[in-house]
Amino acid sequence: MLVLVTYDVNTETPEGKRRLRLVARACVRKGRRVQSSVFECLLNSAEFISLKHELSGIVDQEHDSLRFYNLGNEYRSKIEVIGTDRGYDPSDTLMI
Amino acid sequence: MLVLVTYDVNTETPEGKRRLRLVARACVRKGRRVQSSVFECLLNSAEFISLKHELSGIVDQEHDSLRFYNLGNEYRSKIEVIGTDRGYDPSDTLMI
């Protein structure tokens, strides 16, 4: 299933800037960054639970916001892009 | 249907900052801001077409990114939030 992860991390403090880096790093490991704080992650249920657990351990729940949108398996028809698009379809074969 | 609108606008120029304001203003008229550049908009098909048309007329398609995620009508079970949540369910009755 494709899970969209969006976040707002309060970066007014050095600690906030560190949380932002950690959140982004965790998401990069699991998916594709499509905008500065928007990631598309192809995950099974266990991976989704694990990612939520990891991210909730990083953020400050009083000041930061994490949102997860589950687009299911038939996600392609649900996504439209205008303007720049950062890269590849997460489920495409990556030719190296 | 609930449409998620996410955007990255290049604000390196004054013109970019202006585009950012106009995009946000257009989205505020149609939905709920849940994160700095993430909006949840309850739209019918005609409204969705109209919003896309309006936003594509604002952005610089070479430098900005607009993404639309159609979550359909049964969207509540597809959304999870960790941390701060900016407000109300878009389809709830607003008591004034």
Query: How does DSSP assign A62-82, residue by residue?
Result: TT-EEEEEE--S--GGGEEEE
| Tokens matching residue A41 | 């992650």
The residue-averaged pLDDT of B28-42 equals 96
Total tally of structural domains belonging to chain B: 1
Does the model's ipTM exceed the 0.90 cut?
Answer: no
The predicted structure's pLDDT at residue A91:
53
Cα four-point dihedral sign B12, A26, A41, A69:
negative
Would residue B85 count as lying in a domain? no
Contact A52/B7, CB-based, under 8 Å? no
Is residue A92 situated within a structural domain? no
Long-range contacts of A70-75 (CB under 8 A, 24+ apart): A70/A1, A70/A2, A70/A3, A70/B77, A70/B78, A70/B79, A70/B80, A71/A1, A71/A2, A71/A3, A71/A4, A71/B69, A71/B71, A71/B78, A72/A1, A72/A2, A72/B78, A73/A1, A73/A2, A75/A1, A75/A2
Q: A8-17, A78-87, B13-22, B38-47: which has the minimum mean pLDDT?
A: A78-87
| Owning domain of residue B45 | 2-72
pLDDT above 70 for B88: no
Q: Decide which of A59 and A96 is more confident.
A: A59
Confirm whether B45 is domain-assigned: yes
Task: Tell me what the mean pLDDT of segment B63-88 comes to.
Answer: 91
Work out the minimum CA distance from A79 to partner chain B, whole angstroms: 5
CATH assignment at residue B47: 3.30.70.240
pLDDT for res B86:
72
What residues of chain A lie within 8 A of the CB of B62, using their CB? Answer: 83-84
Tokens 């109209």 belong to B50
Contacts of A3 in chain B (CB under 8 A): none
Residue A11 within any structural domain of the chain: yes
- At A71, the amino acid letter reads L
- Average pLDDT of chain B is 91
Within-domain flag for A88 = no
Contact list in B for residue A6 (CB cut-off 8 A) is 6, 34-35, 38
**Residue B6 is nearest to which of A6, A60, A65, comparing CB atoms?**
A6
What is the per-residue pLDDT across A6-52, written as a single tens digit (0 to 9) for each?
Answer: 999 999 999 999 999 999 999 999 999 999 999 999 999 999 999 99
- Contact state of B52 with A7 under an 8 Å Cβ cutoff: no
* Contact assignment for A67 to B34 by CB distance below 8 Å: yes
Band (pLDDT 50/70/90 cuts) for residue A87 is: low
B4, B10, B52, B62: best to mutate for the A interface, most A CBs within 10 A: B4
What does the pLDDT average to over B72-78? 96
Q: Is residue A9 part of a domain?
A: yes
In this structure, is residue B81 part of a structural domain?
no
- Residue A58 resides in a domain: yes
pLDDT level of residue A86 (50, 70, 90 thresholds):
confident
User: Are A1 and A44 within 8 A, CB to CB?
Assistant: yes
Alpha-carbon dihedral B65, B71, B77, B78, rounded to 10 degrees? -40
